[in-house]
Amino acid sequence: MVKHHVQIRGCDCVYTASKRGGARRRKKHASSEGRIEQSPPNELLTGPAPVVSLATPGAGLLQRDEQLDFDMDFDFDPNFLGNSEPLTIDNGSLPQPMFQDTSEQEVENPVVRTYANDEDILGAYYVYIHPYFPVLPPPFLHQAIDKLETGLRGPNDILFHSKSNPQFQTASPMTLAISTLLSLIPHPDDPNPASPESILLRRNQAQVFAQMAIDSVELENEMIESILDPGDALSSQHTHIYRTQIHPQVRLEAESTIALLLLCTYEYSERGNISKMRKRCGQALISAMDLGLHSKNTEVYDYAESDRRIWWMTAPSILLSDPRFTTPLPAFASDPDVWSVFLEAQRVIATATQFVIDLEASLKMESHNLTLWAQMAELEKTIEPLVQHAEKWSCSNVDGMDVSERVVAKSLRMMTRIKLNSSRFSSKVCMQSAFNIAQSFHALPFPQPFDPRNSSYRAETKQLNSPPRMMPIFACCAMQSSYAMIMLCHKTLAIKQASPFGDGLRKRTDKLLLQLHDGIKMILDALENYSMANEALTGMRDQIRMAVESVAATQEQSSTLLPLGI
């Protein structure tokens, strides 16, 4: 623009240095990654935040430029200790990224997965999403098959399409939302799925599908009367969907509700957008209630099981006891009780969250409300027997998805354990709860992709180590568990440094550190797996890894300060 004005005036454009104090210095906005590299490990432990910050929505997501804070009130209890050899935590034993580092290898073009029709999209849903978010009815025999293809894209295309059916474009908001999540899963033939190019390709493909899903939801909620004669719109209130249903056991009108539910998790775990997640959840709740899914009875009809699943995957925890909600629970052939215990855990964690909110308000006002501690004791009385019962569950290993949905039942049982243990606040049980959470994350089943057209498909997918688990709707529990164990590591090391132990107690202390390290490694392994297809969770993973490195630095420092022979 300046050059244009100079040319109009018939002058030459020549640079002249400013005489107003030199070049202007812009404020540096260091990325979170850059700041992590510059921060000394022990700075993580300065200026501790209140324990209630652990319940902050979105804590740890790759969303805000912030670092990890700790303030967990634990008492060192030798009763948890046993005998073991001395341990030194070092960074080399931390779980490494799931993908191999091929940055120095020859760069190859990244690829994305696509599907040739709606049936194949549903099949992939049952492989990757249904085990952790069973919002659709049970699969038919041999329906849980991953018939993926390598995506192709023309110069003017915004989406990749399948090679066998290049003209296919799904129109249902439900299959568009499923495609959003499937796009995030690395293709088994991608030469470097962790490369920035590959990640960006998957991210862009998913976002286009997500926007198309939302547009489709809006379109299917449109009324012709609102366009032609708005005066008649309020009296008719009828929408018309001019396409066929995707799933024979899912009503056509409910596909938009399912799409909104799936996009809730997408906004949370992939994009780290808590605000949009809440909006999608609210839209899904209103959509489900508009369809009357909340007030069904025990009547048997074609869409009964589907309606029940959609509703109970929609209802917010805080409203589970609403008397208007009369819809019976869904059914699992392999585990008839799993839904009831899963929803009970939802109720408990909702109550525990409300306690945290009340506690935070009390601490901000600096009021010493003794009733809060009575509430905590009462809450612990409620949770303890549920946790003890959950620890007695025996979940056998399962291979893939079947009609009885055994793998889904196992996932829901593990999620229930995680949520129940996340609801406990007493310092005396926090460590055991943290261990239980870590072990439950470790026990969650992995997807079992299978394609009968390709006998080597399962072997080929091993280059991804384990396919990513999807729908991490309880990832915040992983943060809480890791906070507890990391803080216990620091507390234990501080006690060792202040009060040198005898040989017996030192060995028991080392065993405690070993157990804590194993628990943290389980959490890191789980988050590493999730982050393969859920970018926002890389923030959780990286912050926990950074905190573990601070533990290693503290342990190394304390070992050099101990007297010889201790």
Q: Supply the pLDDT for residue 396.
A: 66
Whether residue 382 is found in the same domain as residue 492: yes
165 CA to centre of own chain:
32
Whether residue 293 is found in the same domain as residue 380: no
CB atoms < 10 A from the CB of 142, how many? 11
Q: Supply the pLDDT for residue 102.
A: 41
Assigned domain for 336 exists: no
Consecutive H or E run containing 447: none
Q: Supply the pLDDT for residue 428.
A: 60
DSSP per-residue string spanning 467-495: PPP---TTHHHHHHHHHHHHHHHHHHHHH
Domain end among 303, 319, 335: 319
Whether residue 383 is found in the same domain as residue 289: no
The structure tokens listed for 558 are: 């304390």
Domain end among 319, 338, 367: 319
Number of domain units in the chain:
2
Q: Supply the pLDDT for residue 278.
A: 92
Whether residue 147 is found in the same domain as residue 264: yes
End-to-end CA distance of the chain: 74
Assigned domain for 196 exists: yes
Assigned domain for 156 exists: yes
Whether residue 468 is found in the same domain as residue 525: yes
Measure the CA–CA gap between 202 and 146, rounded to whole angstroms.
Answer: 18
Whether residue 120 is found in the same domain as residue 203: yes
Show the domain range for 123. 107-227+238-319
Assigned domain for 335 exists: no
> Phi/psi at 161 (nearest 5 deg)?
-130, 165
Q: Supply the pLDDT for residue 361.
A: 80
Q: Supply the pLDDT for residue 117.
A: 97
CB atoms < 10 A from the CB of 86, how many? 13
Whether residue 244 is found in the same domain as residue 289: yes
Assigned domain for 333 exists: no
Whether residue 51 is found in the same domain as residue 120: no
Whether residue 443 is found in the same domain as residue 531: yes
The structure tokens listed for 376 are: 């905590």
544: closest CA among 126, 47, 61?
61
Q: In a 10 Å sphere around its CB, with 0-12 CB exposed, 13-18 middle and 19+ buried, how is residue 221 labelled?
A: middle
The structure tokens listed for 176 are: 């568009």
Assigned domain for 398 exists: no
Q: Supply the pLDDT for residue 365.
A: 80
Whether residue 135 is found in the same domain as residue 278: yes
Residue showing tokens 């040198």: 500
Measure the CA–CA gap between 41 and 554, rounded to whole angstroms.
Answer: 8
Measure the CA–CA gap between 323 and 247, rounded to whole angstroms.
Answer: 31
Which residue(s) pair with 432 in the sheet? none
E strands, 90-158, in order: 113-114, 149-150
Whether residue 439 is found in the same domain as residue 503: yes
Assigned domain for 536 exists: yes
Assigned domain for 354 exists: no
User: Are 477 and 418 spatial neighbours (Cβ–Cβ below 8 Å)?
Assistant: yes
User: Are 498 and 434 spatial neighbours (Cβ–Cβ below 8 Å)?
Assistant: no
Q: Supply the pLDDT for residue 25.
A: 45
b/e map of 44-73 (b: 16 or more CB within 10 Å)? bbeeeeebbbbbeebbbbbbeeeebbbebe
Whether residue 308 is found in the same domain as residue 438: no
Q: Which residues of the chain have pLDDT under 50?
A: 1-3, 5-9, 14-55, 64-89, 100-107, 459-463, 561-566
The verdict on pTM exceeding 0.75 is yes
Domain end among 319, 347, 363: 319
Q: Supply the pLDDT for residue 39.
A: 37
